[in-house]
Structure formats: structure tokens, C-alpha cells
Structure 1
């Protein structure tokens, strides 16, 4: 695992790389604050396609924006999903919404939650939006995937290409969405790698390095462990990978039946660090094994770099079974795959007429006034000084706990939970320093929510953003029609308004995640807090219940989140990082009220 990089600051790297996309493709612009690559000209005659995810998978998805492909892409930090705030801005301000918007996202918890949040926000505004979630990785079987399901990997690129070509014809949102789902249902993929990758800016670790003669089958694109580590040559590896994809008798991994008489497309994808020479040898081995052992001769063979894991020393194989779209021969999956596209990440050259078009000086856009949300006041008043004291105590407590949260998440996840919580806490603290004091509860909550949406990405960011938006709505629904004295409102909120609003927030969160108590997530701390507060009206007892819930996760097997994919022997030795971090916040709230 190489830990040497030309960039040691991941934020600087991401900013530079995004700007470079607009330089190599003159039809695109960059919304720098929101990390959105989008087409410079909006087109009201076709459905807009939006995708994205954590950075580090380039050319997916930033370099797949262009004619015949995506309308816009939203980038998160390395291996972490973009925030709900970024996605909402992309839908509302960076693409045409006249014919609707289709969101295509890979099946990772943070991506599904954050993009789902953006979709819901758009729907509230009356925009027609659909979302397709792609889970093509057979490296994760039915048993291991459980409630989470299969991960999305390189097969997603085929979904994007076919849906993008169909959108270009002027098809309706329903037609484009239906075809995208059809492709997603008929594509399977699996990857393999010689080693894990090192993320720029993070400390180096040799713990997960593979042996010099080992290869990991089914490794995820975020360094998640695969299904097994084997010692074999390329021929044996390809046989094993294709068997996982094509053995329909395997009840755990047999997701599609591909017969030799079926038409199909083969995609062989470089995970970033394999030489072009070796990729040619790998492609030859895959094609030879497909025909020799299965009698399958793909109608199209794509070999190149489409979805990476930084500089991953590995490759993935994807097979798409071609099905009838029901839209006529001119709009078959194969026709749409063959249709011209103009994007630097697709194997089609940028047209001369695009280069000759007048370049605009708006390739890098700053956040404009219309992008900002207005604060909507309410009638519920509170003691701002007390709120500042209580919330500050809670936030400083979770900031102090960041090293432990990060350590726990390094063991059971990807190590970004603690940093994400710290970033969110610091953003809310900044609200106290830069915003005018307010005695309006709803204005205060909206400021906190906006700070969370703008600063927190990944799964935790999505969950906190959804929860606080719902909490704000819940408080608004129960606001009095006129102002009440601060002390009276404070007491009512402790035993009434807050409890009921928290209950509605739990219901809202349940629409986007199936997480329940016992799944080893932050819900193990959140649900006991809400339940105890509703029953007792006592914040101290509720916080203690949350703390106990977090402690209980120590021995739990994960059912949701990225920990599902981590078969680490130390998982049982630490609590769930998200639950632990939330418990620290809630204990801090209790402490601040004393």
C-alpha cells in the first residue's frame, strides 16, 4: 500500500481536481462551494440526470458529466458521501427541473440517505424527482448484505450511460427511470485487488496489507474487505470471479441467470493502479474464460478506467444482460450504450465544436443569494443564553471525544465518523459566534440545521440532517399561536413540545433507514433517549438511557452501515462510533442543563 502522494491535503486535492474537469471539458462549470460539476447550459427539453458520491472513484462521477451522460455530479470528500445541502443545491439550482430529475446513486448508506434527503426536499418544492439505487456487487452475498443489500460498483456506469442516452432523446422521467432500473436489475459485478489503498492526508497503516502472494476477491471500492483472500494466479482468479457472477445455483450470490444465448455487454474496469498493459492481459483472460467455460460472447466489450478506488491495484468485471426496454428498436439498451456521448471520463472524444465554443468566465461559481434558504420565524420563544450554554457544553464534549470516536470507527468503519461529528459541532459553535442572537426557537433550529447540512457529509451527516429538518418541522407544528414567557416555554418544551417533535423526527428518519435498536447504529442511542424523554420528561434520565444504549452496541453484530462489510475480530471490543458520539452529545446536553 503506497502512502506517497503528490497532494498531502485532501481538501486541496479535491478542489484542484474538480476545477480541472472544467478545463478539460469546456461545456462544464463548477459550483466550487458545493463541489458540483454541471453542464454550463441548462436544457429544458430533457430529463436531468444527477449522480455523485464520495471522491476517489474518478472518473465516476465528475468526469461523466456531459452530453449523453450526466447533467450534474455532486462530490463528497474522499470515500464519504456529499451532504444533503450540496445535493439539494444541485437539484434546485444547477440543473433544469422542467421535465423532472432522475437521481442515480450507488447503494451505500450515506449516499442513499443524503441523496434521498435532497430528493425529498425537491419534492416538497413541487419538483418531479425519481431516484434509482444501484447495487450490482456480488462480492456481497444476500446473507452478508442483509438489510443493507449489495454495494454499488462499476456496473453503475452502464446504468448512467444508458439512462443518459435515453434522456438525450427527450424521453419522459418515467421512461428514463424505468430503463435505469431495468439496467440496474440486470447487471452484476465483482472486483479483486492485490492490496488496500492509502487515502491522502491520513496516517499510514500496515495492518490490512495483503501478503505478496494474496489477492482479495470482492474488495469494496472504499477498502471494505472482500469475500475471501486467496492465493492463485490470474486464470484461477478470473474463474473464481466469473463463477460468483454466473453460478445461478449459488443461492447467496446468484442474482441473474445469463445463458449463452443471451445478449450481453462486458465491462472490465481498472480500479486505478493497474497498468494499461496488464489490463489488456486481464481483458484477454476474462474474454477467453467467458467463451470457453460459459459459451458467452458479449456484443460489446469495454475495457478501461471507469470507476476507481484511488490508485487501487485491482480490477472489476461487470456483465449486463441486455433486456427489451419496450421503447422500440431505436431505444434498445445496446443502441443507447452505443449512442454518442461527450464526457472526459467516457471513451468518446470531445467534439471540436465544443472546444471552439466561447468559453465563459463562470466556470467557477460562488454561492449566490438565490441558493441560500430564508429563515422562517415562529411564535415559540426561548432563553437564548441558556440554549447557548447547554448546546455549547454538548458540542465541546463531543469535540473532546473525537479521538475515541475516530479510533472506534477506524476499527469498524472507514474512520471518518469522529471527524464528521467534530466538523459539525464546530460549525454549530460558529453559528453562536457569527449569527445575531435570537429568542425564536425555529430560527435557532434552522441555523443549526443549515450548519449541519453544510459541514457534515457521509452517513452521519445525512442522518443528522434528516433528523434536524424533521425536528424543526415537528416543533413548528406544535408552536403556539402567540408568544409565551421563556420560562413557561422552557418547561413545556422539556416535557411536551420537544418530546413530541423528537417522536415525529424518529418517524421521519425511519422513512430513509430501516435501522432499529439492535442493529448497531446511532439509533441504539437515539431511540432510548427519545423514548425515555417522552415517558419521563427528564433529560438526565433520557441521556443516561442513550449512554446505556451506546454501551450495549459493544457486543452487537452490525446489521446496517459500512460495518456490515467489515469482518474485523475487534468489532466486539468497541461500541458503535455513531451511537457513542451521539451519547456524548446527549450527556453534554444533560450536563449543560444542571
Structure 2
């Protein structure tokens, strides 16, 4: 777990975070003494007020969900600790409109249930019409272990408050809003998983619950609680296990809801520290398995941060089995407009309902370049040279990566290797024809699809230009001079898109000497050696372009330019020469 924090004082952290909401959302105000975020009074007609809350550390729940169409107020405790009953009482009595009644929604944790329950009873005694709904959606802890306490409340709770908040905004009475909230809670199942526990700012560092490398806590709660077990498991099997806990009706310890509605809602919640990129991969895996294993195609898919566990390196899956609530459907209420920074559902209902599956067909003029040109090479010689060149690039990956780690972001070697491996696979499944233009045109899209970053773009531009240049020579066997002329034309094309020139410490430092010497001597070996010499000479050369400019430091004095070195390895392999320095 990471124990580094920009704000290590937990009191200041919570107070400042609550204050920030009044800065980013003009519709809310802060009762700092009671840690209550509440909607500012307006001239809008009275409606049922909706109040929730709990310990801090789960942002954007719940303070970030205060706003029109969702919560009227949220009461915050300290990190992972329930607010006091007095805090909640102040929220119910003085920070929300009580004319139409108040619905309190709370997660099923003992401290929360007691504090919010006590406040509800005090509000009732003061004459406020008030009801409370307790949400327990977590299946990570089954019936046997949960005992009388029941299921914990986790991320599915946000679906309850959104549905109830939307119904309240429509002017429905407290009885209907509370009924909808209860039916939503009763038809929810959720489960989480995490790669590690989290460190709470201000607390001593503990390694007692630290997970081993590659180990996952399945069923972890949102307060660092242990789950149902640990396993060293990949994402597909992890998702399979989690979905089984949610949906397997033969598991009597966890078969809380029979999810069989025609309109199922899927919520994939980021516990705080999973990258947006990985969340995308997780979402794809979950949706794929839901359809292939359970024939469930969610009517709505929500993916993002809704209820975190500080910077928890994990996610949870929630499924809502939508049922009739005697009015607007649950789906309609989830789609209903709201204005709160913590509720992220930007796709309109009409877009979901359109179910547009149309696609554009692709067309490419590259197919024209694949037509035989009559410029030929011996197929065996062509394949041998290409194999040698590509294998040299693959073999050089560790040293190129090491160089790029010193002066860049460490991805140059991997990118070159990925491209080389892809081309090798391509020529093994699509045999070379001996027609240079046809073969090169077939390789270009492989490079485009498998090499990313700046190097990938430079290689793709250069090779596309080379395809164009090779369309000019007359049919026949290509000579070194013909190749050099075509390569020079490609260099000229490349120079239109990058200011890189020899001396700027880029792959161009190796490219230009190769083309120049090949044209002068007609010797592939001499040209390759010239490229290697130029690559070596980039050591100590101050970078003018590329990531090295931003990295700074003295690394450029220690290693050659990674891109130039990798390209020189390709040329040496092409010439059948060893590529070691």
C-alpha cells in the first residue's frame, strides 16, 4: 500500500475536501461544524428531502452527490468512521426542507445504522415525517458469516439514492419515494475485489493485511475489511468468480437476488486507484462474461468512481434487477437529469434506447499499391534479409530499453520489438512474393497497427513514403542505387513532418548516413556500419527533440540515442552483420 499523501492531517483533509464542493458546485453549502453538505434554499416547490452519508474516504459518495435530482444533504464522519447522531440530527432538522418529509438512506454498517437511526427517531419526536432505508448489497460476505448483521452496504447504494432522488424531484410523496428506495435495495447485489489494502492518512502504517504480489482480495469491503478469500488470479478468472458470487442461485450462502429482469443495470465502480485505461479493460471483461455465461445484456452500464475506498486499487461490480415500483421505471429514474459532480452518467436515455449498431465500412487505396509492380527480388534472399533484420531488433530490445530508461520513458525497445515480432508473424502467414512493392505495402499496415508512440509514427510515415517512391522505378531487379534514391525520397517526405535532422539525437542520426552511404557505394554493409557509427556518436549529444529534452539530467552522456541504436541494429541485421557494439 502507498502511505504517501499530499495532506497527511486527516482532520484538515476531510474539512478541506468538503469545502471544495462549495467551490466546484454553486448549488451546495457547507455546515462546517457538523460536516454537512446541503443544497442551498431556492424558490422551487417543496419536495421530499433525501439525506445520506457515512464515513469520509468514499468520495464522491456521498457529499459529491448532493444536488438537484439526487441528494438534498450528506453528513460526513471522519475517515472510515460514522458521523455522530447529533451531526445527522442537525442535517435532518435544520439543513433540509422538511415540509414534505425526509428519507434517510444509509449503508448497513453498525455505526451508521445507529447514528442515523437515532437521528431519525429524534426527528420524528420533533414532528418531522421521516423514514430510513438501510442498504446492504454486498455478497462478499455470505449469510453464514454475516449472521444477524446482514450484508454490508457498498457501491450499489448510489443506485438507490439516484432512483429515490429522481422520484423525489418529481414531487412524489415520502411513502412512494421510500418504497422505491427499498425495492431498489432489495434487488441489488454487489461484490468488490482489490490488489491491496489502503493506508488511512494520519494512522500508523500497518503491513498486517498486505497482499502478496499478484494476490487479490475477493470481497473486500470499502473500509479495508477482509473479503471472502485471497487468490493469485488473472482478471478473467477474477471476474468469473465475482459474477458467480453475484448470480449463482445454487450458492445458498449468497443467492440474495435472482437477477432475471429484462432490464438489468450494471455498475462497475472504481475503488479509487484503478486507471481509466484499466477500468475500460475491466468493463469489457465483465460485460463479455455477463453475456456469454449468463445471457445478460445490461440495459445501462455505468463505469467510474462512485464509491471509493480512498485510493483503493480495486473495483466492485453491482447488478440491479429492475422491478416495477408502481410509477416511473427504475431505468427512467436513473436516466432522469441531476446536477451533482459525483453522479457521472452523461449518456442520454434516447441514446441508450436507439440501440444504434450501424458501422461504417472501411476502404483503402493501399490495395492499389499491393498490385504487382514488376520490381523484383529473389524471395529467399528477401526473406533471409528481413528475418535477420527483424531478429536483430528483437535481440536488441533489452539494451534499447535500458538506454531509453536512462533518457526517456523506457518504451522504445518494447515498441521496436513489438513491431518486429508482428512483421515476422505477418511474413510467416502471408508469404513474400518477391515483388518488392507488393510485399512492402503488406508490411506497412502491420507497422501502423503494432507500433505506437513517436517511433511508430515515424516508421509508418517513412514506409508509406517508400511505397510511394517505389512506384516510380521501371520494372526489373532493384539495384542499391535505386533503393537509395527511393529511400532518399522517403527521407525528404519524413522531413515534412518532423524537424529532426542529424545532430538532434533521434533515429534520423542513423537513418541519413545509411541512405547517403548506400547511394555512394552501393554497399549495404558499408551503409549499415555508417549507421552504427552515427548511432554510437549520439552518446553525449544534447537532445533537441523527443522525450529526452524533458527528462533532462546527464543521462545523454551515458548512453546513445535509443531510437538511433535500434535502427542501426535493424540495418546491421539487414546486412547480415553482428549488431553488438
Give the TM interval when normalised to the shorter protein: 0.5 to 0.7
Show the counterpart of 2:54.
53
Secondary structure of the 2:288 match is: helix
Show the counterpart of 2:182.
181
**2 CA distance for matches of 1:205 and 1:80?**
18
CA deviation vs aligned residue, 1:38-95 (integer Å, no higher than 9, x gap): 0011555200000000000000000000000000000000000000110011111100
Is 2:342 the counterpart of 1:345?
yes
Computing the radius of gyration over CA atoms, which structure comes out larger, 1 or 2? 2
- Contact 2:302 2:345 (C-alpha < 8 Å) held by counterparts: no
Secondary structure of the 1:208 match is: coil
Show the counterpart of 2:81.
80
Secondary structure of the 1:188 match is: strand
- Contact 1:100 1:129 (C-alpha < 8 Å) held by counterparts: yes
- Note the residue ranges of structure 2 that are not aligned, 5 or more in a row: 347-581
**2 CA distance for matches of 1:156 and 1:140?**
17
Show the counterpart of 2:108.
107
Show the counterpart of 2:234.
233
- Contact 1:91 1:118 (C-alpha < 8 Å) held by counterparts: yes
Tell me how far 1:133 sits from its aligned partner: 0.1
**1 CA distance for matches of 2:34 and 2:46?**
25
CA deviation vs aligned residue, 1:136-186 (integer Å, no higher than 9, x gap): 000011111101100000000000000000000000000000000000000
- Contact 1:44 1:98 (C-alpha < 8 Å) held by counterparts: no
- Equivalenced residue count is 345
> What is the root-mean-square deviation in Å for CA atoms of aligned residues?
0.9
Is 2:336 the counterpart of 1:335?
no
**2 CA distance for matches of 1:317 and 1:348?**
16
Is 2:282 the counterpart of 1:282?
yes
**1 CA distance for matches of 2:110 and 2:45?**
31
Is 2:5 the counterpart of 1:8?
no
In the superposition, the TM-score normalised over structure 2's length comes to 0.59
> What does 1:372-383 correspond to in 2, within 5 Å?
none
**2 CA distance for matches of 1:78 and 1:268?**
23
Show the counterpart of 1:326.
326
CA deviation vs aligned residue, 1:456-484 (integer Å, no higher than 9, x gap): xxxxxxxxxxxxxxxxxxxxxxxxxxxxx
Show the counterpart of 1:267.
267
**2 CA distance for matches of 1:185 and 1:200?**
35
**1 CA distance for matches of 2:259 and 2:319?**
9
- Contact 1:340 1:348 (C-alpha < 8 Å) held by counterparts: no
In the superposition, the TM-score normalised over structure 1's length comes to 0.58
Show the counterpart of 2:380.
none
> What does 1:194-343 correspond to in 2, within 5 Å?
194-259=195-260, 262-327=262-327, 331-343=328-340
**2 CA distance for matches of 1:298 and 1:47?**
30
**2 CA distance for matches of 1:323 and 1:169?**
19
Show the counterpart of 2:135.
134
CA deviation vs aligned residue, 1:434-468 (integer Å, no higher than 9, x gap): xxxxxxxxxxxxxxxxxxxxxxxxxxxxxxxxxxx
Secondary structure of the 1:138 match is: coil
Larger RCO: 1 or 2 (CA < 8 Å, sep 6+): 1
Tell me how far 1:205 sits from its aligned partner: 1.1
> What does 1:571-590 correspond to in 2, within 5 Å?
none
Show the counterpart of 2:145.
144
- Contact 1:342 1:348 (C-alpha < 8 Å) held by counterparts: no
> What does 1:448-487 correspond to in 2, within 5 Å?
none
- Contact 1:49 1:103 (C-alpha < 8 Å) held by counterparts: yes
Secondary structure of the 1:206 match is: coil
**1 CA distance for matches of 2:247 and 2:180?**
23
**2 CA distance for matches of 1:116 and 1:338?**
30
- Contact 1:81 1:110 (C-alpha < 8 Å) held by counterparts: yes
**2 CA distance for matches of 1:125 and 1:258?**
41
Tell me how far 1:348 sits from its aligned partner: 5.5
Secondary structure of the 1:207 match is: coil
CA deviation vs aligned residue, 1:220-256 (integer Å, no higher than 9, x gap): 0000000000111000000000000000111100011
**Structure 1 segments (4+ residues) deviating >3 Å:** none
Show the counterpart of 2:123.
122
CA deviation vs aligned residue, 1:8-35 (integer Å, no higher than 9, x gap): 1000001110000010000100000000
